Amino acid sequence: MPTSETADGAAAQALEELGLLVLHEHSMESLVQRVVELTKVVMPGHGEASISLLVNDRPTTAVFTGDLARDCDESQYGRGYGPCLHAAGSGEVTEVVDARVETRWRDYAQRAVEHGSLSSLSIPLPLGEGIAGALNVYAREPAAFDEESREAGRRFAPYAGVAVANMFAYENAHALADHLQVAIESRAVIDQAKGILMERHKLPADRAFQLLARISMQTNSELRLVAEQLVATGQLRGMPRRGEA
């Protein structure tokens, strides 16, 4: 097990690297993957790490460093309880000192032993509304975590949580911008198509829109695609002859 001085040095280096991660240079997956890799540097126990997330109460493992962490996470999801879910849901640091004699979540603990994890530490991550998470370390030794390593984990987790939360916000902002751009482009092409119909059939704006909507339903096509076809080709499948609109 690392000495206090060694653990502090590893934690300081890991925290420094976390602070240097640049959002636009990472996908969600690559950023979170680096977080769990740094966790292995900080924590003892010859184990594996993961980040489990509860998004609208649905659990998933965002990333993991090895099969041990993935298998232990997923054993909890199938049961609906366990240390990582407890930490994420309650906001409490949750430690299993020796899974062989653990009385909480007994059937999960037995599976953890079978997978090769004799102790674990799950630290809640500060994320955002609708999202909860935990940084998990599954060790192959019993009683792998001493006070120094617990403190290192507690110091590390908030930085990890901020990195994950910021990346969610960053990706959500990009997704929102993309949706807004699509909406703007759709509105523009639909207005163009309405203008063509208004000119061609001498229709008021509301009747022109109703005609586009009717053809959209008849052809089982998105309204935007119907409008794009008319703007691009001047033709529209199902278009009524002049005077029939």
pLDDT: which is higher, 110 or 132:
110
Query: Does residue 238 lie within any of the structural domains?
Result: no
CA distance 132 to 55: 7
Confidence (pLDDT) at 67: 94
CA distance 53 to 150: 21
Taking all residues of the chain, what is their mean pLDDT, rounded to a whole number?
A: 80
Domain of residue 19, CATH code: 3.30.450.40
pLDDT: which is higher, 65 or 218:
65
**How confident is residue 211, by pLDDT bands cut at 50, 70 and 90?**
confident
Phi, psi (degrees; rounded to nearest 5) at 62: -70, -45
Domain boundary among 174, 192, 223: 174
CA distance 157 to 134: 8
Q: Has residue 136 got a pLDDT over 90?
A: yes
Domain boundary among 125, 155, 174: 174
Query: Does residue 15 lie within any of the structural domains?
Result: yes
Domain identity same for 33 and 90: yes
Are 5 and 147 contacting, i.e. CB atoms less than 8 angstroms apart?
no
Q: Which of 5-9, 128-132, 165-169 bottoms out in mean pLDDT, i.e. has the lowest?
A: 5-9
Confidence (pLDDT) at 170: 61
Rg (CA), the chain: 27
Domain identity same for 95 and 31: yes
pLDDT, mean of residues 9-25: 60
Confidence (pLDDT) at 244: 46
Give the pLDDT confidence of 175-207 residue by residue, as tens digits.
555 555 666 667 788 888 888 888 888 888 888
Domain identity same for 162 and 208: no
Domain identity same for 129 and 217: no
pLDDT: which is higher, 79 or 17:
79
Domain identity same for 26 and 75: yes
Domain identity same for 162 and 189: no
Task: Name the most confidently modeled range: 109-118, 159-168, 179-188.
Answer: 109-118
Domain identity same for 130 and 187: no
Domain identity same for 62 and 166: yes
Domain identity same for 108 and 225: no
Q: Which of 10-14, 160-164, 186-190, 221-225 bottoms out in mean pLDDT, i.e. has the lowest?
A: 10-14
Structural domain range at position 32:
4-174
Q: Has residue 231 got a pLDDT over 80?
A: yes
CA distance 185 to 190: 9
Domain identity same for 44 and 127: yes
Domain of residue 223, CATH code: 1.10.10.10
Query: Does residue 67 lie within any of the structural domains?
Result: yes
pLDDT: which is higher, 27 or 73:
73
Query: Does residue 128 lie within any of the structural domains?
Result: yes
Domain boundary among 147, 174, 201: 174
> How many separate domains does the chain show?
2
Domain identity same for 170 and 180: no
Query: Does residue 245 lie within any of the structural domains?
Result: no
Domain identity same for 103 and 217: no
Contacts of 48 (CB under 8 A, 6+ apart): 40, 64, 65, 66, 67, 68, 69, 137, 138
